[in-house]
Chain A
């Protein structure tokens, strides 16, 4: 059935938050586009009764590691993991080696994606040369080369004047900024959240203030320049509050949260597993609850995994020396459907919006919707299936996840990109 160019998906509960749709209905696909099912002629019907059909999920925070660190992930394996996790598009962060701070790098990623990627890869360019926070990258050239956004992810521009100029300059090219907010000095040498557990464990903490100060800075600059800044991987309750207030004032600031900040807290560090080491760090239970509240009230419009592959060798060292980051593409949906939907915190439509229209709006993408005529990027979910996460089955090249073995409810069962099944566990 994957070779057919037109067919009708029937019987599924269609949830499309971009248009407020949540009902059982047919979706037609013709020539890779969403089509009116009554106008799709003589086509095969695929029965999806009992399943949920949504616009293709977008993970706007992914490290594909190519070029430079293909031992941990490649465009091929990363996008296969994305497809298996229900994602039809990913935004590839620019902290590759060399960093994607020039048109040539973006061109390379785009060409490799044409050859190897199974889902859409939207490149993100770096804000500053070499991600050093000193000199602006060729942002206009990057835009022309096809980046959907710019970011120094993993690092944060410490010099406010440079950041101001990046914001002003990006506005003229209509490029959104994705910012990793962190004050380097406050966070220096930190390995976990600064709080009760870091005090008990004697580990160097990362104060939430290191994130909050830079978010406050970004909000001030976004207001001044009247341009979009998207705050990556929010972790603290005060960060949520800063963004909530800014959005109330109409400042163009948006925010994302990761599944691990939703599901885990700093207490997990006591197990001393380096798969709980990430930046920003897992914070307190109060912070976790505030992030969920932020999703519920619309302060946070995006869930993004910050998929950060590392080899076992890199992670199997003393906690202090282990690199930050965990993979997330294949656990995002199961973890978030368990922690946010089955917990009763978010409705199905609210949750799906964080994976679809939420990121599409931040990036200005013409996707995240099932509107007729758009690319047929579709995620099909079994939201009630109970299973245990099994990292040994991952498509990702890396295994650095704290969720291995976790009992969860819900997962993607098929993923369609441009009308073609790129992942399919359904019969047929």
Chain B
């Protein structure tokens, strides 16, 4: 397995081969053990500097990345849009170049514009880790989802995975779809037809208009947070209609296999996309996803940092 990872950036799962994805998962398994020790810190990134550039706000992803960096002994700087020069009209590229001029090794970026991380990766020597870019990609979230599935089911290939909710605006869905397809899972997406683009059938995804079809036979059900904010208001009638038709509740659980995993990237809307009892029930792995996220981010930071060689920081 040595030397499979050769990328200085982690941008999207679309860019990765099945071997590369598997390699990150295997590496994360090792890092998961670290977090179970008494002393949870390793010196893997000692002397390296990581900047968390969160142009779009985030709580859980940012916390997870930060903790992963700390456990790897990296030096950390946090920048958020509200407190940065981006507010003063500096361009993203200039902000990033200024960060790089301080001999920063890695930049973890969250941005509302799709492919902003790719934009930086192309132009900077620093390694770029995408912590979510608009509706485009959220590779570490998908990796932690896949890691959790593999851990529970022992494999990915051949599993039936259904993703339910707002697929159109979801970077989590896009990343999961690519990762799962590459590893040989059967992927189904479901939700209000206005939020479930038909175009996904062209890459081999099954599209369902009704929840029951998506639930029956599924080994994994990944529920996405549904929002009914002003700009999305015209996609479906109301939260209560969504809950009635597409929510996972006691009634619709009848169609779910007893050994199916219930997943959610968080934050959950209890009683909207899923019932509280199910979120807290035996089939739910929602909190394990959070735990595994730490291992995945440690692995991603470690692998990307290992590919910065050839970069002369004295220049």
Residues of A that sit less than 8 Å from B by CB: 195-196, 199-204, 272, 316-321
A200 to B115, CA, bound (A): 12
**Residues of the B chain whose Cβ atoms lie less than 8 Å from the Cβ of A317:** 91-93
Contact of B199 among A200, A203, A321 (CB under 8 A): A200
8 Å CB contacts to A: which residues of B60-117? 91-93, 111-116
B171 interface residue, CB < 8 Å from A?
yes
A201 to B14, CA, bound (A): 10
Question: Number of B residues whose C-beta is below 8 Å from A?
Answer: 25
Residues of B that sit less than 8 Å from A by CB: 14, 91-93, 111-116, 118-119, 134-137, 168-169, 171, 174, 197, 199-200, 202-203
Considering the complex, give the chain A residue whose CB is closest to the CB of B170: A202
Say yes or no: A318-B111 contact (C-beta < 8 A), given A199-B197, A199-B199, A202-B171: yes
**Residues of the A chain whose Cβ atoms lie less than 8 Å from the Cβ of B174:** 200, 202
Contact of B137 among A202, A204, A318 (CB under 8 A): A202
A316 to B91, CA, bound (A): 9
Say yes or no: A199-B113 contact (C-beta < 8 A), given A316-B91, A316-B93, A318-B119: no
**Residues of the A chain whose Cβ atoms lie less than 8 Å from the Cβ of B135:** 202-204
Contact of B136 among A196, A202, A316, A321 (CB under 8 A): A202
Contact of A195 among B91, B114, B199 (CB under 8 A): B199
Q: Is the CB of B200 within 8 A of A203?
A: no
Given contacts A203-B115, A272-B118, 17 further A-B contacts (CB under 8 A): A196-B199, A199-B200, A200-B174, A201-B136, A202-B134, A202-B174, A203-B134, A272-B115, A316-B93, A317-B91, A317-B92, A318-B92, A318-B115, A319-B113, A319-B115, A320-B114, A321-B113
Count how many pairs of residues, one from A and one from B, have CB atoms less than 8 Å apart in the complex: 53
A319 to B137, CA, bound (A): 15
**Residues of the A chain whose Cβ atoms lie less than 8 Å from the Cβ of B200:** 199
Q: What are 25 sample pairs from A and B whose C-beta atoms fall under 8 A apart?
A: A195-B199, A196-B199, A199-B168, A199-B197, A199-B199, A199-B200, A200-B14, A200-B203, A202-B134, A202-B136, A202-B169, A202-B174, A203-B114, A203-B136, A272-B115, A272-B118, A318-B113, A318-B116, A318-B119, A319-B113, A319-B115, A319-B116, A319-B119, A320-B114, A321-B113
A80 to B91, CA, bound (A): 32
Among B112, B119, B174, the most chain A Cβ lie within 10 Å of the Cβ of: B119
**Residues of the A chain whose Cβ atoms lie less than 8 Å from the Cβ of B93:** 316-317
A317 to B86, CA, bound (A): 12
Considering the complex, give the chain B residue whose CB is closest to the CB of A204: B135
A317 to B93, CA, bound (A): 7
**Residues of the A chain whose Cβ atoms lie less than 8 Å from the Cβ of B91:** 316-317
Among A272, A317, A318, A319, the most chain B Cβ lie within 10 Å of the Cβ of: A318
A29 to B136, CA, bound (A): 59
